[in-house]
Structure 1
């Protein structure tokens, strides 16, 4: 399993506390970059710009990825473009939230 795949798997364990769904199924992760020193940059968004869980989710990402062996520095970039929409969610997330 590649480091990229391991990071993706770990991010399924980070839950949006307001929705009770993991950030991967919500479609909040836009990109994961890993450099030659295993420093990780995660580009993500939140469901709304005023999300009160901004720090909780960002810190959850850093904490969970930081638990992995061999990881260097972790940077989480929160972006607002492209804007998140429910269309980003997996079918599993939609089922969990009772959406179509």
Structure 2
């Protein structure tokens, strides 16, 4: 019986990878920060990530999406990865997880 990975398992692996990427100005990972709006995985294991940045002129606007793409591509099961940046809706602190707010002393 061949070991088959499903898209849900892969989605969880992708989230775990995203939690290793940190915003350089805020000591919280980009997932808990609420910068990841959606992760799509199709049956060919092509991954598309819809994400935002804390501000349009964020200092890592060029490098952060590339880091996200590279880390996702490093997963063996992933066929391809694409990151799309959006500012609709704009990021606000309301998008942060409780964990992130606690980490930053906002609770």
Q: Same fold (TM over 0.5)?
A: yes
TM-score (structure 2 length as normaliser): 0.87
User: How many residues of Structure 1 are paired with residues of Structure 2 in the alignment?
Assistant: 100
Work out the CA distance in 2 between the residues paired with 1:94 and 1:9.
19
Aligned to 1:50: 57
1:84 matched to 2:97: no
State the partner residue of 1:5: 12
- 3-state SS, counterpart of residue 8 of structure 1: helix
Quick check: 2:10–2:77 contact (8 Å CA) kept in 1?
A: no
CA contact 2:19–2:29 (8 Å) conserved in 1 = yes
Q: CA deviation at 1:56?
A: 2.1
Which of the numbers 69, 82, 100 marks the counterpart of 1:93?
100
Are residues 1:27 and 2:34 paired?
Answer: yes
Output the aligned Cα RMSD.
1.2
Deviation at 1:21, TM superposition (A): 1.1
Find the counterpart in structure 2 of residue 66 from structure 1.
73
User: Structure 2 CA distance, aligned partners of 1:21 and 1:45?
Assistant: 15
Distance 2:46 2:97 in 1: 28
Q: Which runs of 4+ in 1 moved over 2 A?
A: none
Structure 1 residue matching 2:62: 3-state secondary structure? helix
